[in-house]
Structure 1
Amino acid sequence: MPTRRPDPARCLPSAEAQASRFARQREADRAATAEDYVELIADLIREEKEARAVVIARRMGVSQATVTATVARLQRDGLVETQPYRGLFLTEAGQQMAAAARARHELLVRFLIALGLDAETAEQDAEGLEHHVSDKALAVFGKFLEGR
């Protein structure tokens, strides 16, 4: 009787490899909030000509205090600018982040639909996946879509 080889998908990775994977996911989780906010701010500016904290709070399903704290962090990180008695504005870096997040989202939606998922579920699932998928995977998804 032949000896069975262990299934690589079931083998525990090295401690360094596993730590690296978890660190990447923690960083993606931290970046997800910033990406969601700048993407929403860009969408609001495009559609409604302004982005206000009260609207962001309603659309994100969070309190205005949460939006205020997050916007302060985004401002500190050079992604958002505020002006007294006016809405929020994206810096060049914020605009670039929003465009990249939007492109990832749209690619993932198209990919999931191409695999047979309905549009509503694809939109919902892409919202979480867009922050955690690697650039390498996105390139493969894009190639797949080009070949269809």
Structure 2
Amino acid sequence: MEDYLEKIYELIHEKGYARVSDIANSLAVQPSSVTKMLQKLDENEYVSYEKYRGIVLTARGHKMGRLMKERHAMLADFLRMLGVQEDTLQKDVEGIEHHVSPATLEALQSLVLFLQAHPDVLTSFLSFREQSSERSST
């Protein structure tokens, strides 16, 4: 559900609307799967969905979609800070965001904010990491 809410939120902010076909293409799923999930999201009051009409995020859905988007961005920022390559980064973010507790996500957010406020610490870490990798490759 979270992936769908994040994608709907993203599409509405990018294009002004979200269609079943857009969601299906973005998430690489069948339109029938999107329709089923939209019905569940509607039942749980995250979206207002009527077949052959638009998809509208409820206030609850908008809040959850925004939180999913922010969580995704924070995790991507964190992995970028650590020097993880972009092709690996997106796959890892998808895995992490669904298997980590809210408390751990909060701790990671604090760490990201700390590293942004103290770039010297991040520079020291990256230097340490590079030296460690050089030592292990010899």
**Please, what TM-score do these two structures have when normalized by structure 2?**
0.75
Q: For residues 61-140 of structure 1, what are the structure 2 equivalents within 5 Å? A: 61-83=28-50, 85-140=52-107
Aligned-residue offset at 1:83: 4.3
Q: Look up the match of 1:44.
A: 11
Partners of 1:113 and 1:43 in 2: how far apart? 21
Distance 2:30 2:110 in 1: 40
Letter in 1 for 2:63: Q
Q: Secondary structure at the match of 1:131?
A: helix
The 1:110/1:47 distance shift into structure 2, 3 A limit, reads same
Distance of 2:113 and 2:19 partners within structure 1: 38
What's the offset of the Cα at 1:140?
A: 2.0
Which consecutive unaligned segments of at least 5 residues does structure 1 have? 1-33
Larger helix percent: 2
**Hey, what's the Cα distance between the residues in 2 that align with 1:63 and 1:139?**
33
- Give the letter for the 1:77 counterpart: N
Structure 1 window deviating more from structure 2 (85-94 vs 35-44): it is 85-94
Deviation at 1:119, TM superposition (A): 2.6
Query: C-alpha offsets along residues 4-56 of structure 1, whole Å, 9 cap, x if unaligned?
Result: xxxxxxxxxxxxxxxxxxxxxxxxxxxxxx11111111111111111111111
Post-superposition offset of 1:90: 0.6
Larger deviation: 77-86 or 49-58? 77-86
What secondary structure, in the 3-state scheme, does the structure 1 residue paired with 2:105 have? helix
Q: Which runs of 5+ in 2 are unaligned?
A: 116-138
1:27-38 matched pairs, under 5 angstroms: 34-38=1-5
